[in-house]
Structure 1
Amino acid sequence: MNFFFLFQLVKLCIAMIDTGKAFCVANKQFMNGIRDLAQYSSNDAVVETSLTKFSDSLQEMINFHTILFDQTQRSIKAQLQNFVKEDLRKFKDAKKQFEKVSEEKENALVKNAQVQRNKQHEVEEATNILTATRKCFRHIALDYVLQINVLQSKRRSEILKSMLSFMYAHLAFFHQGYDLFSELGPYMKDLGAQLDRLVVDAAKEKREMEQKHSTIQQKDFSSDDSKLEYNVDAANGIVMEGYLFKRASNAFKTWNRRWFSIQNNQLVYQKKFKDNPTVVVEDLRLCTVKHCEDIERRFCFEVVSPTKSCMLQADSEKLRQAWIKAVQTSIATAYREKGDESEKLDKKSSPSTGSLDSGNESKEKLLKGESALQRVQCIPGNASCCDCGLADPRWASINLGITLCIECSGIHRSLGVHFSKVRSLTLDTWEPELLKLMCELGNDVINRVYEANVEKMGIKKPQPGQRQEKEAYIRAKYVERKFVDKYSISLSPPEQQKKFVSKSSEEKRLSISKFGPGDQVRASAQSSEGERQDSSMFLDSKHLNPGLQLYRASYEKNLPKMAEALAHGADVNWANSEENKATPLIQAVLGGSLVTCEFLLQNGANVNQRDVQGRGPLHHATVLGHTGQVCLFLKRGANQHATDEEGKDPLSIAVEAANADIVTLLRLARMNEEMRESEGLYGQPGDETYQDIFRDFSQMASNNPEKLNRFQQDSQKF
């Protein structure tokens, strides 16, 4: 009978109990740490209350653990150890007696066999000893067998009894824990919901603070005419103030940084804020102000009075222009009556001022407007998940234009970004063109394409909570596209497809080459309108291959048709050999839709793919004067150094067309690229000023595109 495993079990039980007690000690220390943290969070009622509740529950669990280990010690360690020590000791004693009498019997047998026949006395003695020894052996053997049977039976009962007691102890432990956390469950659920709201509120507050910070930075950086107008009516009479460098009138001509201000028809400065101001010009009506380009320092201007002149330097060209404008405005208003100053100053606001004010209005509108979640969920079908129908979805697939619940969004992520790009409607920052794209599509539109044959095939959409069914359904819907209506696609020969090619596009390209830079956009716009009318009558998806359908729909700004073409396997970079190998993205540029371009880019369109003339989307957007598209392509990595067959890059085209906005964007992007290369910041977006300017243009292009149609008026000033 081998009791090795029984001994081993007792040793393992002892080790487990010792480890459990150490765990309870460490757990109690951790619980005390939670209580200390709750005490230090007394100013936050939610944190203090929750930590106190949790520490009390953990204390109860520690008590339950202690009871469990005590019962384990009684049921296994004490009981089995007593069995091993006491009962096995009796068994070993019986075994020793059996072995001893067995040896005596063997000796008696040997002695009885050795007695000689003629020695009768020895024969009788040996026979008597053997008989007595045999009787004793039988008695001891029966007792030994009894001990074996008793021990074997008791061994079974003791093991099962101790293990049953051990398992009942676990059952009681887990019942106690279940009852404890059942009572705590509702509070934890409420706290979880409250935590979700706190996370959303924190993310929203963070975005608002970032936007406010960006707005403040932009205002501080561009101290221009808008700031001058705002401060004209200030109570202290200060028209404008800020730091300037002043050149001393001594022989060394040193430059010192001083705080200047225009107030009460005077130009004054201070070394420190507490100092009394020093008057530079007593009466601005007797002064003139002019640029200074004949000295080594940049951004300099001079204020000249009848008695002296003052050379000043601003921190940037914008600030120099602002100060000169402020001085000129102060000189002009000094001649007018005091009661008419405010009204006449408002009439003198420049076009650039209006532009900047409108940019600030856009930012304020962005801060106070509807959230991305509210705007997107207002689209038909978007109030529930596109795939399972769960209400209030808070995630979206930006390349498909649909809303998703959190579980379906996780499945979409597993498909890969070439099928679905997932973004949060509450936690992520949304670019204006992307938000507008989401509002142009929606669950109803996309499901009419990707679920066209669901009812015909007798397939039921998965319900919320059915994870495996959802995975299979979503993969069949978007990857395998099993439910898309497989209409017959006519792959007609090139001669037959030529009738779908709009002649107006070729005529447009010929006509553009005949006009000067200032007339190209007008010719393009007129030609585009004619082409839209010509091509719309041929846009029948059931007679076009998917690539051509996507190509035509891109020009027509028909996002549902574009989504349908992609669902039927259209190549997003399909090139039309009948129209100079133009791509759908180039057609979207010609159609003039920013949202169409964004949709194609989100679905993998190559922003640098060029046509036969060597012109990519950035070239065409520059030629047509589409500022919003130029901004979008530059943000998405368009190569502005590429030249067409005439050797012109987008910047040279914009300069010839005198389009100030596009020239500004291209030069800013080029400067930002050079700065990143010189500083080794490859793959990073650039400085905050560059990002702010492009963010403003994106906002304007999406929400106020009419404000970007200014280059014709500004071409005279370029």
Structure 2
Amino acid sequence: MTVKLDFEECLKDSPRFRAAIETVETEVSVLETQLEKLLKLCTTMLESGRQYSAHSKNFVSGVQELSQNSQGDSMMSECLEKFSESFNKMIGRHEELLDTTQQSFKQQLQSLVKEDMKQFKETRKEFERSSETLSSALHHNAEVPRRRHHEAEEAVLALKVARTAFRARALDYVLQINVIQSKKKFEILKFMLTFMEAQSSYLEQGFRVVKELAQYRKDLAAQLHQLVLESAREKRDMEQRHTMIKQKDLSQEDAVPELRTEPGVAVMEGYLYKRASNAFKTWSRRWFSIQSNQLVYQKKAKDALTVVVEDLRLCTVKPCPDHERRFCFEVVSPSKSCLLQADSERHQQAWVCAVQNSIASAYNEEHPEPPLGQQPLERAASLSAAKLQSPLGRRLRGSTDKHVVDQVQRLEGNAQCCDCREPAPEWASINLGITLCIECSGIHRSLGVHFSKVRSLTLDSWEPELVKLMCELGNRVINQIYEARVEEMNIKRPQPGCSRLEKEAWIRAKYVEKKFITKFPEVRVQLSRGGVGRGPEKPPKPCPKPKPPHLARGSAGTSPGNASPVAGPREGVASGAVAAVEDLHSLHPGPLLYRAAGAPPSLPTMADALAHGADVNWVNVAQESRTPLLQAVAANSLLACEFLLQNGASVNQADSKGRGPLHHATILGHTGLACLFLKRGANMSAVDEEGKDPLSIAIDSANADIVTLLRLAKMREVELAQGQAGDETYLDIFHDFSLMASNDPDKLTRRSYDLKLTTL
């Protein structure tokens, strides 16, 4: 409202004054409507704020109750107490904000609407009544005839009174209009200023409260990050343990109670049925244990121990085969006897043996002999476990995982995500040999393991051959294959800030649809980290009989002396290179993969062949139905074999003589490869056309290390078939063999010509 009325103008009662009055009345009506709406909104805001404060207080109370129940965890209780206290302070500041807003709301806006607007309306009604009275007086004065002097005087007098009253009401109305116009401005502005100052004070106080916790929140975030990593490791370990246990036959009876020899620990414990000594001879199931030369039991963990035999040296134990209940045995002491029942015959024998050993131990003050039924394999496993606790064993096991991130990220191109260039990636695709950020790793995982196998560089354990495989390939090599035509197609790569949808579309086009690889056929020689040599396209020729591909780059860990026994003599460097170009130029992906896996293997060329659709189990009928994996075995390339297995190669696919990769590794004496195939589930019982399995071949060739590995694997196989979980000795020994195969392969060349005289 911007119209201001002049007092002199209202006395004239001119059309301009009447028009201004109408304008003012319209604007005041609109203002009143808007203020009433604002009043309702402000009231709703205050009510909602008070409800929020009440619910927040209830939430803080719940947090404080949770803090009281977490007294045993200092980290959690401290966090809950600090945060609940700070949040409670902020709730108090919020209530102060609501009180200040409500007070200002009543003093300014509500007063303006309820009082000033009401007075304006009353003044307007009086002005309108006086205006109507004046109009009637004017009309009556105009109608009085000239000859009626008395009526004329009365009309003039009435007109004078009406005009005086109208002018007084008009002056009051104009005054009220100008007052409400001026008051409207400062009342609304004052309310908004007070409201914003209260908001500013509330936010500043909240900021100070939060700032006091800045360092604590920073420290807590660091601790939380470590907790997340530890939780992920524990979850992975529990899932592996869960899977291993679930593979057992869950319908089998409970395991035999464990016999222990540590001082201060229960020698034997488990559930037994005990016959009461009362007249009813009732049977009750109780938790029994042998500890401190006493036989005791209890019903619940909180119950006090009940002593059955105070001194085992004064008692004897004997089975009760004649009792009507099965699996009973009796512990007899000078004062009383106790009849007990086990769940099975094995449990009965174990308890009888445990009591007898405890009696002997109490007499001799020595540890008991191993319990009846302990197998030589278990004793050998114990010795092996002790051996692995030696400094050498610890060094071999811990030397690979310690610097995985540094080794992998140090490779050129691996310091950024292979797909979106996010720095410092902590995830990897082990079958592709690339590093990934966490978001791209999630997209790779959704593609399925037949496209990409994702593993964490920090959370997962890494076998030494996998680390070398990652360092042999890398982002730069793989991108030269899968992004070969990106520049030519003028396609923009995704950046770290792109959305997940953009990254997912790029990754699917790159690895699933393979839109950016070069079109087959093209030359695949000279594929290296420096670039991919390509020649002009030519029509594909029939695949010639494979020859040893003398590639420009070999696989790490492979020497000329390890060449395939089926390969011909090496030619000169120049002629060999030309022959390789001519041969590989005409090869389709399957033969290309086969040739690249031979001596010396080239992992980048193998990756290129797989990208162009090569069958990882392609069979070369012309050479005894050999596969690329058998070629890699012949070349004694641990990395090539690992790469093929990670990309889906069958570890049991045999050649025309019935010999699989494990047969060939045994024949050639490649212990590291034999260890790799056994870890990947190779069939040890498969026989070739001569009826020999890998173990008999290893014994004939007097390879001590492979014989050891095969025997351990067979023992493990028997344990799993019997439903025994065993310990981790088997995995530790194989892990040590893997480390030696990668770091010191010369140690795996031991032979013993006495093996032929040994038996299983």
> Normalising TM by the smaller chain, what interval?
0.5 to 0.7
Q: Deviations over 1:577-609 (max 9, x none)?
A: 775887645644565555434434544x36499
Distance 1:489 1:663, change over 3 A: farther
Cα gap change, 1:556 to 1:443, in 2 (>3 Å): closer
Alignment of structure 1 residues 138-149 onto 2, 5 Å? 138-149=167-178
How many Å separate the matches in 2 of 1:416 and 1:215? 23
1:179 matched to 2:208? The reply is yes
TM-score w.r.t. the length of structure 1 is 0.59
- Would you say 1:656 and 2:691 are equivalent positions? yes
What pairs with 1:429-444 in structure 2 (closer than 5 Å)? Answer: 429-430=461-462, 432=463, 435-442=464-471
Conservation of the 8 A alpha-carbon contact between 1:654 and 1:662: no
Does the Cα contact within 8 Å between 2:651 and 2:680 map onto a contact in 1? no
Residues matched between the structures, number = 567
**Which of 38, 58, 63 pairs up with 2:92?**
63
Instruction: Summarize the alignment of residues 213-232 of structure 1 with structure 2, pairs less than 5 Å apart.
Output: none
Matched, 1:271 2:352: yes
Equivalent residues of 1:627, 1:701 under 8 A apart: no
Aligned twin of 2:120: 91
1:391-470 alignment to 2 at 5 Å? 394-403=426-435, 421-430=453-462, 432=463, 435-442=464-471, 445-447=474-476, 450=479, 467-468=497-498
Q: Which of these residues, 224, 232, 239, is aligned with residue 195 of structure 1?
A: 224
- Paired with 2:175 and 2:723, the residues of 1 have a C-alpha distance of 93
* CA distance in 1 between partners of 2:610 and 2:330 (Å): 65
How far apart are the structure 2 equivalents of 1:472 and 1:498? 43
Cα distance in 1 for residues equivalent to 2:195 and 2:756: 89
Q: Does the residue aligned with 1:531 lie in a helix, a strand or coil? A: coil
> Aligned to 1:552, which of 595, 601, 605?
595
2:691 aligned partner, one-letter code: E
Q: 1: CA distance between counterparts of 2:242 and 2:386?
A: 13
More helix by share: 1
Output the amino acid matched with 1:399. Answer: N
Which 10-residue stretch deviates more, 662-671 or 483-492? 662-671
Q: Could you say if the C-alpha distance between residues 135 and 123 of structure 1 is closer, same or farther in structure 2, counting changes exceeding 3 Å? A: same
Secondary structure in 1 matching 2:691:
helix
CA contact (8 A) 2:601 2:637 kept: no
Q: Would the alpha carbon gap of residues 695 and 707 (structure 1) be closer, same or farther in structure 2, given more than 3 Å must change?
A: farther
Q: Which amino acid is the alignment partner of residue 659 of structure 1?
A: P
Aligned to 2:253: none
Aligned Cα RMSD in Å? Answer: 6.3
Partner of 1:157: 186
CA distance in 2, matches of 1:589, 1:12: 80
Q: Is 1:25 matched up with 2:61?
A: no
One-letter code aligned to 2:352: K
8 A Cα contact 2:564 2:635, kept in partner: yes
Post-superposition offset of 1:409? 5.3
Name the amino acid aligned to 1:397: S
Whole-Å separation in 2 of the counterparts to 1:217 and 1:122: 120
3-state DSSP class of the match of 1:372? coil
Q: What CA distance in whole angstroms lies between the structure 1 residues aligned with 2:618 and 2:443? A: 33
Within the alignment, does 1:596 sit opposite 2:626 as a pair? no
Q: State the alpha-carbon separation in 2 of the partners of residues 712 and 272 from structure 1.
A: 39
Q: Does 1:16 align with 2:40?
A: no
CA distance in 2, matches of 1:358, 1:26: 62
Superposition map of 1:667-686 within 5 A? none
Distance in 1 of aligned mates of 2:530 and 2:479: 5
> For structure 1, which runs of at least 5 residues remain unmatched after alignment?
219-230, 236-241, 260-267, 280-312, 327-349, 458-464, 504-524, 641-648, 676-685
Q: Deviations over 1:225-267 (max 9, x none)?
A: xxxxxx9x999xxxxxx9xxx99998999877999xxxxxxxx
Contact 2:127/2:166, CA 8 A, preserved across alignment:
yes
Match of 2:534 among 477, 482, 488: 488
Q: Which of 116, 120, 129 matches 1:100?
A: 129
Percent of residue pairs bearing the same amino acid type: 31
Q: Which amino acid aligns with 1:9?
A: L
In 1, distance between residues paired with 2:630 and 2:184? 87
Q: Would the alpha carbon gap of residues 104 and 481 (structure 1) be closer, same or farther in structure 2, given more than 3 Å must change? A: same
Worse-superposed segment, 192-201 or 562-571: 562-571
The letter for the 2-side match of 1:599 is: F
Cα 1:139–1:592 shift into 2, 3 Å: farther
Question: Aligned equivalents of 2:37 and 2:724: distance in 1?
Answer: 69
Q: Which amino acid aligns with 2:429?
A: S
Q: TM-score, normalised by structure 2?
A: 0.56
Cα distance in 1 for residues equivalent to 2:326 and 2:63: 63
Give the secondary-structure state (helix, strand or coil) at the position aligned to 1:396: strand
Which residue matches 2:522?
none
Give 3-state SS (helix, strand or coil) of 2:103's partner: helix
Residue 498 (structure 1) aligned with residue 544 (structure 2): yes
CA distance in 2, matches of 1:612, 1:234: 53
Structure 1 residues 622 and 497 mapped into 2: Cα distance closer, same or farther (>3 Å)?
same
Cα distance, 1:129–1:253 mapped onto 2, change above 3 Å:
closer
User: Aligned-pair distance for 1:387?
Assistant: 0.7
Q: Which of residues 594, 597, 604 is equivalent to 1:561?
A: 604
CA distance in 2, matches of 1:147, 1:360: 102
Over 3 Å counting, the alpha-carbon distance change for 1:597 and 1:55 in structure 2 is same
- 1:423 match: secondary structure: strand
Amino acid in structure 2 at the alignment position of 1:92: K
Aligned: 1:531 with 2:559: no
Matched position secondary structure for 1:399:
coil
CA contact (8 A) 1:80 1:159 kept: yes
Contact 2:473 / 2:603 at 8 angstroms: preserved in 1? no
1:96 Cα offset (Å): 2.0
Is the alpha carbon distance of 1:167 and 1:574 closer, same or farther for their aligned partners in structure 2, counting shifts above 3 Å?
farther
Alignment of 1:590-669 (within 5 A): 591=635, 593=637, 595-603=639-647, 605=648, 607=650, 619=660, 621=662, 627-628=674-675, 630-631=677-678, 634=681, 651=686, 653=688, 656-660=691-695
| Structure 2 runs not aligned, ≥5 long | 1-28, 248-259, 264-269, 271-317, 332-348, 361-370, 488-494, 518-528, 550-560, 667-672, 696-708, 742-747
Quick one: distance in 2 between partners of 1:566 and 1:584? 11
Q: Do the aligned residues in 2 keep the contact of 1:385 with 1:405 (CA within 8 Å)? A: no
- Give the CA deviation at 1:34: 4.2
What secondary structure sits across from 1:657 in the alignment? coil
CA–CA distance in structure 1, aligned partners of residues 142 and 750 of structure 2: 129
Contact (CA 8 Å) 2:430, 2:454: kept in 1 or not? yes
Aligned partner letter, 2:534: S
Deviations 1:292-330 (A, max 9, x none): xxxxxxxxxxxxxxxxxxxxx998xxx6xx3xxx7xxxx
How far apart, in 2, do the equivalents of 1:254 and 1:95 lie? 109
- Partner of 1:656: helix, strand, or coil? coil
CA 1:176 to 1:56, structure 2 compared with 1: closer, same or farther past 3 Å? Answer: same
| Deviation, structure 1 residue 70 | 2.2
In structure 1, how many angstroms separate the alpha carbons of the residues matched to 2:653 and 2:411?
37
* Cα displacement (A) at 1:84: 1.4
